[in-house]
Amino acid sequence: MADYKLRVRRYDPESGKPPYWADYQVDLDGHRSVLDAILEVKGREDGSLGIRCSCQAAICGSCGVRVNGQAKLACNTKLSDAAANAAKYEDGGTIKVEPMGNMPVLKDLIVNMDDVHWKKVQRIVPWLIPAGDPPEREYVVPPETMIDVTQSMACIHCGACVSDCLSMEVDPLFIGPAALAKAYRFVGDPRDSQTEQRLNDLAEDPHGIYDCTHCFNCIQVCPKGVAPMDQIMRLRRRATRDFGITDQNNGRRHEEAFTNIIRKKGILDERKLLQDSFGVLRPQGQIQLLRSLPTGLRGFARGKITPRKALMHERLDGMENLRRIYDHAEDHHEEVNLYILGEGETQDEKEPAMGETAGGPTS
């Protein structure tokens, strides 16, 4: 048994007082969870401490909280890990526990998921819309066609990704990682007949799939490996590749501009990227380009961008090699999904950790 210090964010809406931090200490083994510690405090010191919990086994999704600033399930966060993590930033290793972010706080560690998480999930039409009359028995599809969506299906609606979504933090209207991952579950389901409509809706929405800021927070915090950002990228691929959807948000234009510039030059021509992302032939694009003009002019004034670089950006030698790579990939576009394959399962020898030489870990 060891002593663990917790600093918990308390808030009682009926008291009329603002939120405050309260310090507690528990004596538990390090392998016990943060949830165990909170329940210990609740049982021995203050029964009014509010937390949602149920299964205590990382499957019901109830106990989402922020531990040391990051959204997690309290029930599968070990006290020893949480304390070690806290000790990185301050002496003493006091474990900070607060309610999840991006959602209104009801009381203590309990947040209102209805008005944010659930509302956004509802928005993406989270039910199957098959075509035609119902069959006599089941809708039958080959099992391999459903493997891809098992990753989306793993979601337990804990809200951790919503809590820590950095796009949503600055734009509360962003549909968000949980809802978009759930949307892929239907887009990727061969029994659904509204694939194009769903994708069109999500691509054209000004707070839709192209609003993800690529910060990886949702992938990092998901306790189930759903990797919502990866599902969002799949939605983008399905929208552009399968249905040719060109959204008003410049999402497709930007993606294709970047890819084509590397195909032609090998390295990035930033001026052309901007221009092609907005689309010079579109009136909207011209307006957006004009709005970027002050930034560009400032860059020129400081010598950060030179006229030569802007107009005649260099290209790499050996471009025929890149063309060959592009031609091959455009025909194949295989997607290796380690969630399905398993990481390192096809290894025949021990794989070195990332960032280390093949000769073995440095001590």
Partner 1 sequence: MALVADRLGIELVELDRANCCGAGVIAEHNPELADTLNARTFAMAQQTGLAMMNICSTCQGAQSECQQRLDADKAYRAHINEVLAGEGLRYEKGISNKNFLWLLVEDYGLENLRAKVRRPLSGLRVGPFYGCYVLRPTSRLGYHEHPDRDAYLERVIEVLGGEPVDYEGAHKCCGFPVITMNRETSLRQAGRHVGDAIDAEAHALVTPCPLCHLNLDLQQIEAAGVVGRELGLPILHLPQLVGLALGFEPKELGMHKHVVKTAEVEQVLQPAAAPAAAG
What part of residues 157-176 is at the interface with partner 1 (CB under 8 A)?
A: 166-167, 169-171, 174
If one asks whether residue 147 binds partner 1 (CB under 8 A), the answer comes out as no
If one asks whether residue 286 binds partner 1 (CB under 8 A), the answer comes out as no
Residue among 324, 326, 357 nearest 262 (CA): 326
From the CB of 309, what's the least distance to partner 1, in Å?
A: 12
If one asks whether residue 40 binds partner 1 (CB under 8 A), the answer comes out as no
| CA dist list (Å): 306 to 235, 274, 292, 301, 319 | 38, 16, 16, 9, 24
Distance CA 207, CA 164 (A): 17
Distance CA 60, CA 50 (A): 17
Which residues in 292-331 contact partner 1 (CB under 8 A)? 294-295, 298-299, 302-304, 316-318, 321-322, 324-326, 328-330
From the CB of 194, what's the least distance to partner 1, in Å?
A: 23
Indicate the burial class of 203 (C-beta count within 10 angstroms; 0-12, 13-18, 19 or more).
Answer: buried
- Which residues of 75-220 form beta strands (DSSP E)? 95-98, 105-107, 110-111
Task: Enumerate residues 6+ apart whose C-beta is below 8 A from 248.
Answer: 204, 206, 284
Indicate the burial class of 243 (C-beta count within 10 angstroms; 0-12, 13-18, 19 or more).
Answer: middle
From the CB of 31, what's the least distance to partner 1, in Å?
A: 18
Residue closer to partner 1 by CB (options 94, 167) is: 167
Residue closer to partner 1 by CB (options 46, 330) is: 330
From the CB of 362, what's the least distance to partner 1, in Å?
A: 7
If one asks whether residue 347 binds partner 1 (CB under 8 A), the answer comes out as yes
Residue closer to partner 1 by CB (options 81, 196) is: 81
Residue closer to partner 1 by CB (options 39, 218) is: 218
If one asks whether residue 284 binds partner 1 (CB under 8 A), the answer comes out as no
Among 41, 95, 251, 272, binds partner 1 (CB under 8 A): 251
From the CB of 200, what's the least distance to partner 1, in Å?
A: 16
From the CB of 28, what's the least distance to partner 1, in Å?
A: 23
Among 17, 44, 214, 309, binds partner 1 (CB under 8 A): 214
If one asks whether residue 356 binds partner 1 (CB under 8 A), the answer comes out as yes
If one asks whether residue 154 binds partner 1 (CB under 8 A), the answer comes out as no
Distance CA 324, CA 46 (A): 67
Residue among 120, 117, 190, 118 nearest 149 (CA): 190
If one asks whether residue 31 binds partner 1 (CB under 8 A), the answer comes out as no
Residue closer to partner 1 by CB (options 156, 218) is: 218
Among 88, 133, 137, 281, binds partner 1 (CB under 8 A): 88
- Which residues of the chain form beta strands (DSSP E)? 2-10, 20-28, 64-67, 70-73, 95-98, 105-107, 110-111
From the CB of 235, what's the least distance to partner 1, in Å?
A: 10
| CA dist list (Å): 332 to 327, 328, 335, 336 | 9, 6, 9, 12
Reduced to 3 states, what is the DSSP secondary structure of residue 174? coil
